[in-house]
Amino acid sequence: MLSGENQIPLLNRRGVRLLLHVAIWLVALGLHTMAFLGQLPWDLLLLRSVLNIGLLAVVFYVNLFLLRRFFFKQRYWAYAVYLAGLFLATAFLRAHFNMQLTLLPARLPRLSMNTALLIAAFVTNVSILMVSIFYALLQYYYRKEAVKQRLEQERSEAELQFLKAQINPHFLFNTLNNIYALAVTGSPKTADMVLRLSELLRYVIYDGAKDSVSLEKEVRHLEEFINLFKMRMEQEVNLTFTYSGELAGKKVEPLMLMPLVENCFKHCDFDMNEDAYAHIKLRVEDDHLWFEARNSVDRQHEQKDKVGGVGLSNMRKRLRLRYPDAHVFEVVEEEAMFEVKLKLPLAG
């Protein structure tokens, strides 16, 4: 998710913003000077332009301060009073300076105060005031959006970590029970299973907290996960895992595939069907990951603890948070078959 800093860099990077403001006021100074070119000597013309543009800048920036100090804190009357004082003071000062600089006794004939100067000061004050209000509202909006996006990102990250922590412990508990049984009987497979399980848990705990991991590492631990399942089964099972494509240099969300494989093991009828199968395929193509897990299932004798769970709903939430509008996730359920399909974009 993009922050406000990335969305509107010209309004948020202080150095660029300062240079932009200076450039705009210098342009305004130049335009004001050119508008009265030839009507006054250069020194008086420049002084008049500096005073006018300077007072307009005062209106602009003091109004920004008043908006933040009073208006945005719902102190509207205080804002109105201070703004009225600012507006009238700068308008009369500009009209007075313009009259004096236009009609200096030593150089130009002296005339009475022209109301046109005051009207012009009011009109330009109103114009700069509108620009100031628009600028302040724009800043206020983007700051609120930036805060909103940051909070949303923090909420999404917290939810993702929570969803990762919800990975079904069904397989872990069964594996620990099998290791215990093997240890009691003195099986030589015990040490190997403990080692494999510890490596897998290390990956889940440490790498699982990262934003992304290499696809090679994810696939390698997926293989370990599958091999561990095979080791805990008492008989040979029809379980295959194949992958193809270029894995090197690709990044993926950690633990994104393991819950799907665990779900496959959970629903497969290995323990009650000699012809049971589970086929898992992964391929990388055009910077996308294609994953498919298909397994047999016995609907009539399916155990209650194998129905439902947080696996697939967890997966849908994670995909929606991490890959919004960039993934395909399908679940196919038939009488004797269960299948999940997933397509994800891969980071380079």
Is residue 215 scored above 90 in pLDDT? yes
- Cα–Cα distance, 118 to 45 (Å, whole number): 18
* pLDDT tens digits along 125-182: 888 889 888 988 888 888 888 887 877 776 766 666 666 655 556 666 767 877 887 7
* Strands of the sheet with 288-296, listed across from one edge: 238-244, 277-285, 288-296, 337-345, 328-333
Most confident of 31-45, 164-178, 262-276: 262-276
Is residue 310 scored above 60 in pLDDT? no
Is residue 303 scored above 90 in pLDDT? no
Give pLDDT, residue 8.
45
Q: Residue 289 CB: number of other CB atoms within 10 A?
A: 24
Give pLDDT, residue 150.
78
Buried b (16+ CB within 10 A) or exposed e, 200-231: beebbeebbeeebbbbeebbebbeebbbbbeb
Is residue 193 scored above 50 in pLDDT? yes
Give pLDDT, residue 157.
67
What is the pLDDT confidence band of residue 114, given thresholds at 50, 70 and 90? Answer: low
What is the pLDDT confidence band of residue 295, given thresholds at 50, 70 and 90? Answer: very high
HSE-CB for 179 with a 13 A CA cutoff: 17
Q: At a CB cut-off of 8 Å and minimum separation 6, what does 110 contact? A: 103
* pLDDT tens digits along 85-104: 998 898 888 887 777 776 44
Buried b (16+ CB within 10 A) or exposed e, 129-167: beebbebbeebeebeeebeebeeeeeeeeeebeebbebb
Q: What is the DSSP string of 276-327?
A: -EEEEEEEEETTEEEEEEEEE--SSS--GGGSS-SHHHHHHHHHHHHSTTS-
Give pLDDT, residue 328.
93
What is the pLDDT confidence band of residue 112, given thresholds at 50, 70 and 90? Answer: very low
Give pLDDT, residue 166.
57
Alpha-carbon dihedral angle through residues 32, 38, 41, 47, given to the nearest 10 degrees = -10
Phi and psi at 260, nearest 5°, equal -70, -40
- Cα–Cα distance, 53 to 29 (Å, whole number): 6
Q: Which of helix, strand or coil describes residue 237?
A: coil
Give pLDDT, residue 48.
82
- Cα–Cα distance, 30 to 168 (Å, whole number): 70
Q: Where in the chain is the domain with CATH 3.30.565.10?
A: 166-345
Is residue 3 scored above 60 in pLDDT? no
Is residue 11 scored above 90 in pLDDT? no
By percentage, how much of the chain surpasses pLDDT 90? Answer: 18
What are 189's two structure tokens?
């497979």
Q: Which of helix, strand or coil describes residue 70?
A: coil
Stronger pLDDT, 281 or 267, i.e. the higher one? 281
Is residue 309 scored above 50 in pLDDT? no
Residue at token pair 């403001």: 21
Give pLDDT, residue 43.
78
Long-range contact pairs involving 317-321 (C-beta distance under 8 Å, separation at least 24): 317/159, 317/163, 318/160, 318/163, 318/164, 318/253, 318/256, 319/344, 321/156, 321/159, 321/160, 321/163
- The residues with which 289 forms a beta bridge, in sequence order, are 284, 344
Q: Residue 343 CB: number of other CB atoms within 10 A?
A: 16
What is the pLDDT confidence band of residue 110, given thresholds at 50, 70 and 90? Answer: very low
Closest CA to 315 of 241, 254, 257: 257
Give pLDDT, residue 239.
92
CATH class for the region spanning 166-345 = alpha beta
Average pLDDT, the chain: 80
Is residue 185 scored above 50 in pLDDT? yes
Stronger pLDDT, 303 or 311, i.e. the higher one? 311
Is residue 60 scored above 80 in pLDDT? yes
Give pLDDT, residue 307.
43
Cα 102 from chain centroid (whole Å)? 56
Closest CA to 218 of 160, 158, 282: 282
Residue at token pair 């009650």: 272
Q: Which of helix, strand or coil describes residue 75?
A: coil
Q: Residue 307 CB: number of other CB atoms within 10 A?
A: 10
Q: Which of helix, strand or coil describes residue 120?
A: helix
- Cα–Cα distance, 175 to 151 (Å, whole number): 39
